[in-house]
Chain A
Amino acid sequence: MAVAEKTVERRRRAPLAPWLKGTLLTLGSMAVTMLGLLFVTFIIGRVMPIDPVLAIVGERASQSTYDEVYQQLGLDKPLIVQFAYYLWDVIRGDFGMSLLNARPVAEDIARVFPATLELATLGVFVGIVIGVPLGVIAAVRQGSWIDQIARILALVGYSMPIFWLGLMGLLVFYGILGWVGGPGRLDIFYVDIVPSVTGMILIDSALAGDWAVFRNAFSHIVLPASLLGYYSLAYISRMTRSFMLEQLSAEYVITARVKGASERAVVWGHAFTNIRVQLVTVIVLSYANLLEGSVLTEIIFSWPGIGSYITTALLSADMNAVLGGTVVVGLIFICLNIFSDLLYRIFDPRSK
């Protein structure tokens, strides 16, 4: 009897479409991962060898002041309650005050983030424009000299310390040849000329119609962006190549060839069309990886982005800033990962 009721119950509920179920699962696991990420940073903040109370009251405060602040910060509460407070703060976008300049960390991050975004976006752009065609050609002419070059480029890219390559780039293209602008985002004469709308100088100067600033900003960004572009190129071209190889050996490609389709139609019309979705997910992932690569690149090029921000904060023991920066980078990283996963689910009919 009970079993029969259960079956009826089950039949009444509309079954979830498999792709929707998958999407919900992905979103659920994303929430858990984010919670875990915040827990890790929370724990790091708690076991940090710096006493947060002392950092506020100073060393000469009396015991009663110390205890007061200790309670204000909620440090007398159980760990789980403290974690709940921390979660609530992060949700409201409150990462505490920077110990260095006494400004809210969230404001600082919002100020430096556009610089990183501008750099990483241009980097990925370089990676796509060169990496995708290179990967396709390497797959079509497997074993040719262009395939070898693509292989060597990728191998060297995986083995080269990014900060060292950046230094060499500065030495050659700035120091010796003088083709590009040096470290920083602008020459000193161009700073603060155009109003900051997006925080990305290339866009801001274009909006203001000030092409002198635009040219100067471009000459500064071209080297670090090419550097990051090279790293994403190494990854994108390898992935493109292996996706294309898989398609080119498929039977429908042979059919198309037998039917007499031109090489161009076979490669770009048939095979490439089928790897587009996979490719987009790879590009989103390499965008996420550039966030990481940008830490060292920003240091080399004195680029005032989030990587420089975290490192500077770290060297001056400004813990709220370090943790805030880590959380923001981690959250963006997760979001991009999930985004690439969802793209794949939604646009690839095979995953349904």
Chain B
Amino acid sequence: MSDGMKLRAWLLTDAPVSRHHARLAGLYKGWLSFRANTMAMFGLSILVFLALVALFAPFLAPHDPFVQDLANRLEPIGSPGHPLGTDSLGRDILSRLIHGSRITLYIVMIVALIAPTAGLLIGTVSGYAGGWIDMLLMRITDIFLAFPRLVLALAFVAVLGAGVENAVLAISLTAWPPYARIARAETLTIRSADYISAIRLQGAGPFRIITKHVWPLCISSLIVRVTLDMAGIILAAAGLGFLGLGAQPPSPEWGAMISEGRRFILDHWWVATVPGLAIFTVSLAFNLLGDGLRDVLDPKAGGRQ
């Protein structure tokens, strides 16, 4: 038996010898069932590709994304030196696209950190404490859910001023309520479990119970929700950029690039089309990945065991 085979057998065992062994075996089985989902793997590979592009953007981009070349403005797709053409100021669209991937990933990652964390905190406290704290926190959650997301984000940006950081903040402020709902629902089922009573009898306080014993169990449903939400975050950020309320020119943010290309849409279609395709590809990838993760991590919804 080769080393690889041995490792595989060790990972697929029915009788784990330690806690770590059991956890690794569980992860490996999850990965196997995830790998069998072609569409989810497709989504994952697009995202890995995007991450690599963002990481190595300065080396991959053939031109400086900000340098204007007015002699060669609005060059069509496939022109020499500019595979995806140039925009109205003669900037290379491919280079702007590559650098723009950094902004997109930045926004998604920050929102995906802030919103679920805030939701987890509010939801678990609300569910565990119960009573008037629960009433109050859930009312606040309902109020935020009552606004259409984009309209609320617009109002927040009006207060905060336009810009990438403020767009991130505005999107996070509108994105947390669903996470709070999920975390609360999970907490309510966990709270009455026997093992929580057991820990409480051992003298654990609410802080310890929530952080050590409730949070770990909420994580997987939150992860599924985050992945499915990321497409929405990208679309919201692009929408704000398109309206001129997110990233400001000359930033190569994809939504702002579409907004720039909009003026020439009938004569120079590629300027707006290319960044839109990029947004579509990335949010599609997140949706595919989210569907696959839901099947693996959330057996209730996946219907497979």
Chain A residues within CB distance 8 Å of chain B: 29, 32-34, 36-37, 39-41, 44, 47-49, 155-156, 158-165, 167-168, 170-171, 175, 288-289, 291-292, 295-296, 299-300, 310-311, 314-315, 319, 322-323, 325-326, 329-330, 333-334, 337
Contact = CB atoms under 8 A, between A and B. Distances in A.
Most buried by B among A47, A161, A291: A161
Contacts of B171: none
Given A44-B156, A323-B155, A333 B146 contact: yes
Interface of B: 139-140, 142-144, 146-152, 154-159, 161, 231, 235, 238-239, 242-245, 255, 258, 262, 265-266, 269, 272-273, 276, 279-280, 283-284, 286-288
B239 A322 contact: no
A326 B287 contact: no
Given A33-B139, A37-B146, A315 B244 contact: yes
B276 A156 contact: no
Given A167-B265, A315-B244, A44 B147 contact: no
Contacts of A292: 148-151
B155 A161 contact: no
Contacts of A155: 284, 287-288
Given A167-B262, A295-B154, A330 B276 contact: no
11 contacts: A156-B280, A158-B287, A161-B239, A161-B242, A164-B258, A167-B276, A288-B148, A296-B242, A310-B151, A314-B158, A322-B155
A323 B156 CA distance: 11
B97 to A, nearest CB: 14
Given A47-B159, A164-B258, A326-B152, 13 more contacts: A159-B235, A159-B280, A159-B286, A161-B280, A163-B242, A164-B280, A292-B148, A300-B262, A314-B157, A319-B158, A322-B155, A323-B155, A326-B154
Contacts of A33: 139, 142-143, 146
Contact of A164 (B144, B146, B276, B287): B276
A48 B284 CA distance: 36
A167 B258 contact: yes
Contacts of A44: 155-156, 158-159
A314 B245 contact: yes
Contacts of B284: 155-156, 159
Contacts of A29: 139, 142
A49 B276 contact: no
Closest 8 CB pairs of A and B: A164-B276, A36-B143, A292-B148, A159-B284, A159-B283, A175-B266, A326-B155, A334-B146
A161 B146 contact: no
Contacts of A314: 154, 157-158, 243, 245
Given A159-B287, A314-B245, A322 B255 contact: no
Contacts of B151: 291-292, 295, 310, 325-326, 329-330
B280 A337 contact: no
A129 B30 CA distance: 40
Contacts of B280: 156, 159-161, 164
A48 B158 contact: yes
A337 to B, nearest CB: 7
B139 to A, nearest CB: 6
Q: Which of B151, B265, B266 has the most A CB atoms < 10 Å from its CB?
A: B151
Contacts of B244: 315
A330 B148 contact: yes
A325 B144 CA distance: 16
Nearest to B245: A314
Given A161-B280, A167-B262, A329 B287 contact: no
Nearest to B234: A161
Given A158-B231, A163-B258, A167-B265, A295 B283 contact: no
B258 A159 contact: no
Nearest to A48: B159
B272 A164 contact: yes
Given A44-B156, A171-B266, A292-B148, A36 B238 contact: no
A145 B280 CA distance: 23
